[in-house]
Amino acid sequence: MIRLIQNEWMKISYRVGTWIMVGLLVLGMVATLIFVVKTNDKDQASGDWKTQLEMMNKENKKELKETENGFFKRELEKEIAINDYRIKHNLPPADQFSHSVWDYVKTNANLLQLVGVFVIIIASTIVSAEYKHGTIKLLLIRPPSRLKILISKYITVQLYALLLVVVLFILSFILGAIFFGLNTDYVNLVYQNGEVIERSQFANMVYYYLAHCAMFVVLGTLSFAISTVFRSEAISIAISVLAYIVGGSVTGILMLFFDWSKYLLFANDPSQYFMEQVTIIDGMSLGFSLTVLVIYWAIFLAIALIVFQKREVKTG
């Protein structure tokens, strides 16, 4: 199996497009660095931040009594709880600190969307390319079973996804530390299950990036399954990228009206539990979303394995 994975890794490493993707990711980080440096000339916020938070809570509590929307109620409750915690424990909000490495790392977290597209492209082509170039028959006449061959391709896709995420995180940290320095004073607060939890910025960012990795595993598996079923690079990429771009927006709209939408794939992105917002549908939790994602992952992978093993091999 290891040799098969090495072989697949060599195949994608020989593609110019593979390294173009890495280059584009690095360029994206440089672009955000220039943007942050250019816009980081504002003076640090000053004033009595406790008084400001108390005034905000006063308005929030007034709105809490008036609103009937469950989502906004939870959002207001979260903001009130966090503000009260900061006041009680003397923990200034982020605007009281100068820009730091973790602000830059968080800004670059937006590039994870680009990573998702790259993973989809690799997953959509790693099987269909074998059919397109007519190398699938040469691959299958070798001793390893079809199952091992397909799993080696799947593992290679996930390793490539992990590589991109690691490059993004480490390089963002290095560049951020050089240009903005470390900030160990600011304390990140998370609101979970009605409680406010202190979490270091490093831990928060690691959780956030890992949460995206969980989503990439499922999306990569979806693209991999589509590639296996349709055997066409164009169709696989088109369907996968369209679902990736539109799926979240459509799901977000459905979640405003239907509780059953919480079982949809894009409604269960684990990163939402590490962001400064609450879930749209009450009752959703990290454990729930991970369970749903595992089910989707198993279905997509099973489809790919079954189709690849049963289908008659044809090229073109």
**52-67 per-position pLDDT tens digit:** 899 999 998 888 888 8
Per-residue pLDDT at 272 exceeds 60? yes
**70-117 per-position pLDDT tens digit:** 767 878 888 899 989 898 888 888 777 777 888 889 889 889 889 988
Mean pLDDT across the stretch 213-219?
A: 85
- Cα–Cα separations (whole angstroms), residue 84 to 53, 183, 197: 8, 23, 12
Spell out the alpha helix ranges (H) of the chain.
2-13, 16-38, 49-66, 70-89, 101-108, 112-125, 128-132, 136-140, 146-180, 201-230, 233-255, 286-310
Confidence of residue 168 (pLDDT cuts 50, 70, 90): very high
Task: Show me where the domains of the chain are located.
Answer: 2-37+97-310
- The set of residues, in sequence order, having a beta carbon less than 8 Å from that of 71 and lying 6+ positions away, is 256, 278, 280
pLDDT for the residue numbered 5: 84
**141-156 per-position pLDDT tens digit:** 777 777 888 888 899 9
Q: How far apart are CA 19 and CA 119, in angstroms?
A: 13
The pTM is what? Answer: 0.80
Q: How far apart are CA 80 and CA 74, in angstroms?
A: 10
- Cα–Cα separations (whole angstroms), residue 125 to 26, 172, 205: 23, 28, 31
Most confident of 40-44, 57-61, 178-182: 57-61
Q: Are 315 and 108 in contact (CB under 8 A)?
A: no
Q: Which of 276, 284, 275 is nearest to 193 (CA)?
A: 284
Tokens read off for 163: 């590589």
Per-residue pLDDT at 42 exceeds 60? no
Distant-in-sequence contacts of 306-309, Cβ < 8 A, 24+ apart: 307/225, 307/228, 307/229, 308/127, 308/146, 308/150, 308/228, 309/146, 309/147, 309/150
Per-residue pLDDT at 196 exceeds 80? yes
Q: How far apart are CA 56 and CA 52, in angstroms?
A: 6
Per-residue pLDDT at 163 exceeds 50? yes
**105-162 per-position pLDDT tens digit:** 988 988 988 998 898 888 888 887 777 767 766 666 777 777 888 888 899 999 999 8
Confidence of residue 185 (pLDDT cuts 50, 70, 90): confident
Percent of the chain with pLDDT over 90: 15
- The set of residues, in sequence order, having a beta carbon less than 8 Å from that of 90 and lying 6+ positions away, is none
pLDDT for the residue numbered 311: 66
Confidence of residue 316 (pLDDT cuts 50, 70, 90): very low
- The set of residues, in sequence order, having a beta carbon less than 8 Å from that of 292 and lying 6+ positions away, is 263, 265, 268
Most confident of 90-99, 165-174, 216-225: 165-174
pLDDT for the residue numbered 303: 92
Q: Which amino acid is at 155?
A: I
